[in-house]
Homo-oligomer: A and B are copies of this chain.
């Protein structure tokens, strides 16, 4: 990697770093004539410390392969994504990928203990330690986490893995409105605390669409808003007891109107199916614009209502669902057919409002090529300038992933 980048830098050849090529913002797609530099062959597991749970591996290891490798040691990765079958840990690191486990185990800035990266000029930055605590000098590794291959190419990581849970439980709850659902979430934090592993929300529009267009059914009937709460723990009896008591408390306080609690893998799969198969079905309602935003919880669902009013008859439907526990909302808008006009009409309002509400226009997916134009809308001139300064320091010839991010 060092030799490739050194050569490209000396000859002013632009490079597009690519891992599993599963990104959705075009960060790993060449725009003009960039040379694709793939990490695919850097796919070795280097070391696992079974006691500390620290895994050291090369950047090209596919996430699912790492999951499978760890399974034999009763360990698991701190990150899980829909794209796990092909995404690579180096790409996950470079995009600070989020996913379903983030609520429980935190983001990659917390879980990546060490990394090795190659700068644009071929120089190797070795931050490759396996320690939870290391305060020696500026924390250089974080420069490479989430910078989408624009400041260097990650070649190795050391990542904190966690014990595999012995018990997984699921609750599917129906609430009268979003405010009540938020109260149920807050109660979950108090009652379930350390065993919560996912808190997902889906609105009525989303579930109704699933009933109409797929073979799924709601196990509890028709409610304005639904919560899925998953727990993962080390003792099944304890976890069941906690979840049952939590459910009863939510019912007693009328935070939820109905619900079901299960530890059966087949029932859990059916419930998760409602949530996970959502995105792949919306195309049946026309062209779908999909957005991945974060919002403070107090404003989390307002944006869905507001977009419905704003769009009126211009859209078919506005769907709201997502990782409530992380404040991460997937808002998807179906229209009769794609047009640049309607896209601009949606995005100009949506991104402006998200910014006004102190949200994020890209929660998990990054900026890449597709959202680059919107970055200056949500970042101050000082922040943009600092990003450009960093880019110039790390990659003065601008060979690394040009036309992306900044």
Closest to A234 in B: B193
Which B residues lie within 8 Å of A140 (CB)? 383, 386-387
Contacts of A384 on B, CB cut-off 8 Å? Answer: 137
Question: A134 vs B238: C-alpha distance in the bound complex, in angstroms?
Answer: 34
From B123, B133, B294, give the contact of A133 (CB < 8 A).
Answer: B294
The CA-CA distance from A150 to B178 in the complex, in Å, is 45
Q: Are B233 and A137 in contact (CB under 8 A)?
A: no
Residue from A132, A151, A323, A360 with most neighbouring chain B CB atoms (10 Å): A132
B133 A138 Cβ-Cβ under 8 A: no
Say how far A273's CB is from chain B's closest CB, in angstroms.
24
Task: Return the chain B residue nearest A233 by Cβ.
Answer: B194
User: Could you say how many copies of this chain the assembly holds?
Assistant: 2
Give chain B residues whose Cβ lies under 8 Å from the Cβ of A102: 132-133
Q: How far is the CA of A242 from the CA of B195 in the complex (A)?
A: 14
Beta-carbon contacts of A90-126 to B below 8 Å, as 1s and 0s? 0000011010001100110111000000010001111
**Which residues on B sit within 8 Å (CB–CB) of A110?**
106-107, 109-111
Once the chains bind, are B238 and A136 in contact (CB under 8 Å)?
A: no
Closest to A371 in B: B136
Q: Is A364 an interface residue (CB 8 A)?
A: yes
- Which of A11-19, A79-87, A339-347, A372-380 contacts its partner? A372-380
Q: Determine whether the beta carbon of A49 is less than 8 Å from that of B298.
A: yes
The residues of A with any CB-CB pair to B shorter than 8 Å are 49-54, 74, 95-96, 98, 102-103, 106-107, 109-111, 119, 123-127, 129-140, 142-143, 145-147, 150-151, 163, 165-166, 182, 185-186, 189-195, 232-235, 238, 241-242, 294-298, 323, 325-328, 358-367, 371, 375, 378-380, 382-387, 389-390, 393, 405-406
Pick the 7 closest A-B CB pairs, nearest first.
A110-B110, A142-B142, A193-B234, A134-B360, A133-B363, A238-B238, A131-B294
Q: List 23 A-B contacts (CB under 8 A).
A: A51-B182, A51-B189, A51-B297, A102-B132, A102-B133, A125-B386, A126-B383, A131-B294, A131-B358, A131-B360, A133-B363, A133-B364, A136-B379, A137-B375, A137-B384, A139-B142, A139-B146, A140-B383, A143-B143, A192-B234, A194-B233, A235-B238, A238-B242
